[in-house]
Amino acid sequence: MIQKLFDSEIKVMEMIWSSEPVSAKDISLLATDKIGWNKNTTYTIIKKLEKKGFIKRTEPGFICSSLVSINEVRKEATNGLLNKLFGGSKKALFSAMLEDESITEEVLKELRNLIEKR
């Protein structure tokens, strides 16, 4: 089981996944541009991600690479949500999604196709 990621950590991980390997400096510049963070905030989050085992960094240049995939993080987050809000019931989660009236027929068709392929 991987540790929980906070929203700020997910934002940094997304920057890493999208362009890894990437320098901490480049991550910091992206974070400043996209989120408005200062360099210290970004570097603090990078260090937390490294300590948690989500990324590794190499020298020279403080180059960051992920140690977990986006799919692993998504799966863990989905399972956490499933257990926390739906008692582990995938049927309850799916039912809640289907009750959302904003789901288009196109999305419903795609969901049907996914189920049928399973």
Averaged pLDDT score across all residues of the chain: 92
Give the mean model confidence (pLDDT) for residues 43-51: 96
Report the pLDDT value the prediction gives residue 39, as an integer from 0 to 100.
95
The string of DSSP letters for 34-78 reads HT---HHHHHHHHHHHHHHTSEEEETTTTEEEESS-HHHHHHHHH
pTM of the model: 0.80
Q: Is the dihedral of CA 36, 39, 41, 42 positive or negative?
A: positive
CB atoms within 10 A of CB 58: 10
What are the domain boundaries of the chain?
1-87, 89-118
- The pLDDT-based confidence of 1 (bands split at 50, 70, 90) is low
Question: Tokens 């009236």 correspond to what residue?
Answer: 101
Instruction: Please state which of the four CATH numbers 2.90.10.10, 1.10.10.10, 3.40.50.300, 1.10.287.3510 is assigned to the domain occupying 1-87.
Output: 1.10.10.10
Tokens encoding 18 = 């999208």
Over residues 94-112, the pLDDT tens digits come to 888 888 778 888 988 998 8
**Mean pLDDT, range 33-55, rounded to an integer:** 96
Q: For 51-84, write each residue's pLDDT tens digit.
A: 999 999 998 889 999 999 999 999 999 999 999 9
Q: Classify 95 as helix, strand or coil.
A: helix
